[in-house]
Amino acid sequence: MRRQRGYSFLLALAMFAGSGQLAAAAEAEEQVFYLEAGELKIAIKSGSPVSGAPRFDLSARIADVTWQGRSYVGEPGLVDEFGLEGAGVLGYAEAPIGGGFIKIGVGVLQRDSESPYRFQHPYRWLKRFPVMAVRHENELEVAQRSETVYGYAYHYIKSYHVGRDGDVSIHYRLTNTGNRPFTVEHYNHNFFRLPNEEGASGCRLTTGFALHSPPPGWELASETEARWYGAAAVHPGVFWRMVTAATAQKNRVVLSLADGRQVETSGDAPLVRFAVWLEGEAISPETFSRHALAPGASADWIQNYCFSFSTPETTAMAAGAGERRGAEDKS
């Protein structure tokens, strides 16, 4: 059952307000919080911008995950983004050149041309919205409230929870506090670390929805399974983007790495798109959801992760890669 987030957080903010702990959280530019449960340890950075264009949610991101002593993510970690392709970049169409627009989780950025919004463009940062954070034993909650720009505004609450069986869940609540409706797309740019042990390369993706149109380097083993037989370090990057209408019940992706590490991601929102980005020593399977909010309305959704380890698939994947290369040589 979906958990309703936000009310406990607002109560916690009221409790902390008199102690000065909340003020310290709101004023700090960068903070690092650690959550542990059994053999699972995660590090969360709050108020820490990612290098490059100002696109990623800076309220909080998972910067490190260790399960049973094994590391699972690479820099910058598991980081959210709203409006990658423009849906939910608030006020961009209304802003004149030199005017500001809202990027959710980021702040107010400056429009500098007549071109459509481009996520990789280095827009000038006009204002960052403050982030408030409250830590509990196995939970971290952060909140951010925007100012109003061309009638658009939001209140954003996000909470992280950890479990003893390698489980991490992120609960989101986004509220439209402006006087204009908007639709926003959200995803988490999951930077999982590819195997770097000698002889261990390759990975497998198993999904709850149909896959199609893989780029070179990917091979479909079935309608819901794809394998990558490429090098451990991928240069240049390989991007796989596909439209999907997967229901919430099919919102599931399992990444199995050749060294035995495995991550299952799932969520309670329907999907509109799926993408995989491979570059360097990282792989990023990404599921996109879309949320339409009238003024005063809120959207709640959850992203789950389950980290595990099983017998390495090095031999099987290496054999598959050999068979594939042999077939290519014969052709």
Q: Where are the domains of the chain?
A: 7-330
**What's the pLDDT band for 243 if we cut at 50, 70, 90?**
very high
Task: Look at 56-70, 180-194, 302-316 and tell me which has the smallest mean pLDDT.
Answer: 302-316
Q: Can you tell me the distance from the alpha carbon of 130 to that of 107, in angstroms, rounded to the nearest whole number? A: 9
**Higher pLDDT, residue 15 or 247:** 247
User: Which pLDDT does position 48 carry in this prediction?
Assistant: 87
User: Which pLDDT does position 128 carry in this prediction?
Assistant: 93
User: Which pLDDT does position 305 carry in this prediction?
Assistant: 98
Nearest residue to 89 via CA among 121, 61, 65, 118: 118
User: What's the predicted TM-score (pTM) here?
Assistant: 0.87
**What's the pLDDT band for 220 if we cut at 50, 70, 90?**
very high
How far from 7 is each of 109, 190, 220, 287, CA to CA, in Å? Answer: 30, 28, 44, 27
pLDDT digits (tens, 9 = 90+) for 16-41: 433 333 333 334 468 999 999 999 99
CATH architecture label of 7-330: Distorted Sandwich (2.70)
Q: Which residue has the tokens 């849906």?
A: 87
Mean pLDDT within 112-135: 95
pLDDT digits (tens, 9 = 90+) for 258-314: 999 999 999 999 999 999 999 888 999 999 999 999 999 999 999 999 999 987 764
**What's the pLDDT band for 199 if we cut at 50, 70, 90?**
low
Whether residue 145 is predicted with pLDDT greater than 60 in this model: the reply is yes
Q: Given 3-state DSSP classes, what are the helix, strand and coil percentages for the chain, each rounded to the nearest 5? A: 10, 50, 40
Computed over every residue of the chain, the mean pLDDT equals 87
User: Which pLDDT does position 235 carry in this prediction?
Assistant: 74
